[in-house]
Chain A
């Protein structure tokens, strides 16, 4: 049974999103996703200041098994990326909702965050996997 914190929003492609006090949104991948991937060995993050659209492939997570694309769940500008993942990619496995965060977006459209799945809906979407 994977961990699905109730205060976060989710995409069916296994990204989570957390609204910060300053209006930016922190994004990572879920506990379910990291378990499916296995040991993460390399994370390729987007450039700071890049403009992204919802649904764009903007990052790659490589595990021993396979490379997986990460999709921007909302549109906006990348304002920060988690550089500690360069030396410690395994943090994505050990702390997927905390220190394993991947990047922070300044959203261009607040409605997109609201349209994401809540914890219950995400749990349902992975129940069949």
Chain B
């Protein structure tokens, strides 16, 4: 394996990880059973190395104005230090360049976390757009990143924190972050459970990992990460949306901040035109009642004869049924037919969210 290694690499090997290539990174797909790891996050606490993701620090007097142009959601909503915002970053055609989370530190400093697979593209785009604003766009390489998720994740993480860190995190609300003793601790996640996503100083990685293992947190790989996020109805860039897909058909309409009208974010004109022409598709959830596994790229035919496509599919360990996200016509109806290796199999159309806080929604 000749891929890029995160600061946790040897720890994964020591924990018995099965390593795979993920976009040029050498990452753990599981540590034995991705289904066990999935259940650990839904019922207890699991941790994921997400150090391959990209931290971009935006600083300067015009940081806010820059991000208000760059992002479809509005960072002006962030008024309290540490508050976070999920947004799409669009191109001029209204397609999605990436989805990301922005943390507001102060008016001249925002921390943005973008995907691993889009790192080069995003940094290039963000730097180009920064020219007009004179802000600094810096790729921050000083941290490893670990997501600790599950109903017991916060309690177990707080057990291994210092007293100061415990105090700084006490009563921290969802979608907030705090800097404490060199760690950047955010109450965000990609699993549908409570927990933290933590930026860890490079010299603290080994001890932090071991302390969490001793506290009963289970290492979890990319396999479980995908089944968890899909159950939670969370998009995966590259599958559920990409540069050719509008946020309006990717279940991201709620992340577009249209007011104030004067805020001309990149992609606004294209989205306005799309709405005027009428948006005919949506990203829906599918549940397979019978046996089999829904997978991306499978064709879907609606009750109205319209054609759609599955963008992400898997077997849901919590529901013990196959689930999927699919881009289908708004008039596809309540049941669609999925082409599973040549057989037409019915699937129920639901809202694109299947499990929340460990409970089935479908």
Contacts and interface: CB of A to CB of B under 8 A. Distances in A.
Given A42-B293, A42-B315, A67 B223 contact: no
A60 B341 CA distance: 11
Contacts of B29: 38
B227 interface: yes
Contacts, number: 33
Contacts of B30: 38
B292 A62 contact: yes
A127 interface: no
Interface residues of A, number: 14
Nearest to B226: A64
B221 to A, nearest CB: 10
Interface in B1-33: 18, 29-30, 33
A35 B291 CA distance: 22
Interface string B26-59: 0001100111000000000000000000000000
B223 A64 contact: yes
A89 to B, nearest CB: 10
Contacts of A118: none
A39 B293 contact: no
B191 to A, nearest CB: 16
Q: Which DSSP category, helix, strand, loop or mixed, fits chain A's interface?
A: mixed
A39 B314 contact: no
**Interface residue range, chain B:** 10 to 19
A99 B341 CA distance: 28
B28 to A, nearest CB: 12
Contact of B291 (A38, A39, A42, A93): A42
21 contacts: A35-B18, A38-B30, A38-B223, A39-B33, A39-B34, A39-B35, A41-B315, A42-B291, A42-B292, A42-B293, A44-B291, A62-B293, A62-B315, A64-B223, A64-B293, A64-B315, A65-B223, A66-B295, A67-B293, A67-B295, A93-B33
A90 B33 CA distance: 10
Interface string A63-82: 01111000000000000000
Interface string A25-62: 00000000001001101101000000000000000101
Nearest to B291: A42
A90 B39 CA distance: 15
A67 B33 contact: no
Nearest to A94: B33
A35 B30 CA distance: 11
Which 10 A-B pairs give the minimum distances between C-beta atoms?
A41-B315, A39-B35, A62-B293, A64-B315, A42-B291, A39-B33, A39-B34, A64-B314, A64-B34, A64-B223
Contacts of A41: 293, 315
B288 to A, nearest CB: 10
Nearest to B37: A39
B34 A38 contact: yes
Nearest to B340: A67
A114 B87 CA distance: 62
A67 B340 CA distance: 10
A42 B35 CA distance: 13
A38 B18 CA distance: 10
A66 B33 CA distance: 15
